Structure 1
Amino acid sequence: MELVLKEIKDKISQKLALWPQVTLMTDDLKRYFDYYGFPLADHIDIKTQAISVKDYQIAVYRFRPSLNLNPSQSSQQPLRHVLIMHGYLDHVGVHSDLVKELLTKNCQVTLYDMPGHGLSTGSNAEIDDFSRYIEVLNQVLSCLQQEQQLPDTIIAHSTGAATLILGLLSQQLPDVLAMKVALIAPLVRIASWYRVKLAYYLARHWLKKVKLGKVNNSADKDFVDFLMNDPLRHGMMPVQWLEAAFHYEAGLKHYACCDKELIIMQGRKDTTVAWRYNLRFLRDKFPYSRIYCLENAKHHVLYESTELRECARNILYERLDLL
Structure 2
Amino acid sequence: MNKEHSWLDDLRDAMPDLSQNNPHNRIASLHYYLTYYGFDRNHLSSYRAGVVTSRRYNVFTQHFQPANPEAAVLLIHGFLDHSGGLSKTVNAFLEQNCEVILFDLPGHGLSDGSNGEVISFDDYLDALRDVYETVKTNVFCDQFIGAGHSTGAAILYHASSIRMLPFSSLILVSPLYFPHRWTWTRGFVHYTTKLLRRTKRVFKRNSEDRSYRAFIKEDPLQVQWIGTHWLKAMEAWQMRMHYSPVLRIPVYLIQGGRDNTVDEKENIRFYRQKCPNMQICYIPGGRHQLLNEQRVIRADVHERMIEFLRQPSVR
Q: 1:78 offset after TM fit, Å?
A: 5.0
Match of 1:134 among 121, 125, 132: 125
Does the 8 Å contact 2:69/2:99 carry over to 1?
no
Structure 1 pair 168/40, CA: closer, same or farther in 2 (3 Å)? closer
Equivalent residue for 2:4?
Answer: 4
Does the 8 Å contact 1:50/1:60 carry over to 2?
yes
Equivalent residue for 1:22?
Answer: 20
Q: Write the distance in 2 (CA, Å) between the matches of 1:283 and 1:138.
A: 25
Equivalent residue for 1:96?
Answer: 87
Q: Write the distance in 2 (CA, Å) between the matches of 1:60 and 1:222.
A: 26
Equivalent residue for 2:59?
Answer: 58
Give the number of aligned pairs: 307
Residue identity matched to 1:37:
G
Q: 1:20 offset after TM fit, Å?
A: 5.0
Does the 8 Å contact 1:169/1:252 carry over to 2?
no
Q: 1:118 offset after TM fit, Å?
A: 1.1
**Partner secondary structure for residue 38 of structure 1:** coil
Structure 2: runs of 5+ lacking an equivalent: none
Does the 8 Å contact 1:89/1:234 carry over to 2?
yes
Residue identity (%): 27
Q: Write the distance in 1 (CA, Å) between the matches of 2:18 and 2:135.
A: 13
Q: Write the distance in 1 (CA, Å) between the matches of 2:290 and 2:44.
A: 29
**Partner secondary structure for residue 296 of structure 1:** coil
Pair 1:203 & 2:202 matched = no
**Partner secondary structure for residue 269 of structure 1:** coil
Q: Write the distance in 2 (CA, Å) between the matches of 1:43 and 1:157.
A: 23
Does the 8 Å contact 2:82/2:105 carry over to 1?
yes
Equivalent residue for 1:303?
Answer: 292
Q: 1:49 offset after TM fit, Å?
A: 2.1
Q: 1:220 offset after TM fit, Å?
A: 1.0
Structure 1 pair 280/42, CA: closer, same or farther in 2 (3 Å)? closer
Pair 1:275 & 2:267 matched = no
Does the 8 Å contact 1:185/1:301 carry over to 2?
yes
Residue identity matched to 1:249:
Q
Structure 1 pair 221/301, CA: closer, same or farther in 2 (3 Å)? same
Q: Write the distance in 1 (CA, Å) between the matches of 2:3 and 2:63.
A: 26
Residue identity matched to 1:169:
S
Q: Write the distance in 2 (CA, Å) between the matches of 1:189 and 1:270.
A: 12
Residue identity matched to 1:192:
R
Equivalent residue for 2:148?
Answer: 156
**Partner secondary structure for residue 270 of structure 1:** coil
Q: Which structure 2 residues correspond to residues 1-323 of structure 1 after superposition, within 5 A?
A: 3-5=3-5, 7-16=6-15, 19=17, 21-23=19-21, 24-25=23-24, 26-41=27-42, 44-66=45-67, 78-147=69-138, 149=140, 152-173=144-165, 175-176=166-167, 179-321=168-310
Q: Write the distance in 1 (CA, Å) between the matches of 2:225 and 2:174.
A: 21
Structure 1 pair 64/147, CA: closer, same or farther in 2 (3 Å)? closer
Q: 1:43 offset after TM fit, Å?
A: 5.2
TM-score by length of 2: 0.91
Structure 1 pair 41/4, CA: closer, same or farther in 2 (3 Å)? farther
Q: Any idea what the Cα deviations from partners look like across 1:169-213, whole Å, max 9, x if unmatched?
A: 33323x22xx22100000012111111111121221221101121
Structure 1 pair 266/225, CA: closer, same or farther in 2 (3 Å)? same
**Partner secondary structure for residue 170 of structure 2:** strand
Q: Write the distance in 2 (CA, Å) between the matches of 1:40 and 1:286.
A: 36
Equivalent residue for 1:71?
Answer: none
**Partner secondary structure for residue 185 of structure 2:** helix
